[in-house]
Amino acid sequence: MKSNTSILLSIAVAILGYIIISFAALTIPAGISFAIGAIVTGFTIHFIKTGKSTSSTDSADSAMPEGDFATTTLYVGNLPYRANEMAIRTLFAEQGKVLSVRLMKDKHTGKRRGFGFVEMPEQDAQQAINALNEKEFQDRSLKVREANERAPRTEQQNNDV
């Protein structure tokens, strides 16, 4: 019975989130387009709202609208195992805008593997590398560099998983 209760609770939370997102979409002024989403982790819902002006009055000389920029993914190694996404986001936010943080976990045990990836705008990423590479963070010396592109998996690697 306990599993049925958690399933019903999850459905209720999802419906509530959908209603809130739908309501937020109705209150957005004309001329602005937004992508609205929700991330559900456990029973915590994080609402994400990013926007970009679509007004025809924007000139080529004006600054880039928010959300219209090149991004760089940074590899962050030698992370403390107790560090969570929010701690890493806070650390990198001191150097610029943080778009996403992903800390890698072992797929069998669920424990953190001591590295992750932070996505930032290109202009902030180099500043973050310079400021945070070799910096002490929770008694560990961080390794921060631009992430390499992931190599495509071969058929043999797919079969091994």
pLDDT per position as a tens digit, 111-135:
999 999 999 999 999 999 999 999 9
User: Within this chain, do residues 85 and 47 fall inside the same structural domain, yes or no?
Assistant: no
- Does residue 152 lie in a domain region? no
Q: 136 lies in a domain?
A: yes
What is the C-alpha R_g of the chain?
20
Number of separate domains in the chain: 2
- What is the pTM assigned to this prediction? 0.54
- Tens-place pLDDT, residues 62-105: 344 455 678 999 999 999 999 999 999 999 999 999 999 999 99
Residues 44 and 105 in one domain: no
What CATH number does residue 108 fall under? 3.30.70.330
Residues 135-145 as b or e (16 or more Cβ within 10 Å = b): eebeebebebe
Range of the domain at 141: 71-146
Nearest to 75 by CA among 134, 130, 144, 149: 144
Same domain, 142 and 77: yes
In a domain, 96, yes or no: yes
Give the residues across from 41 on adjacent strands.
Answer: 44
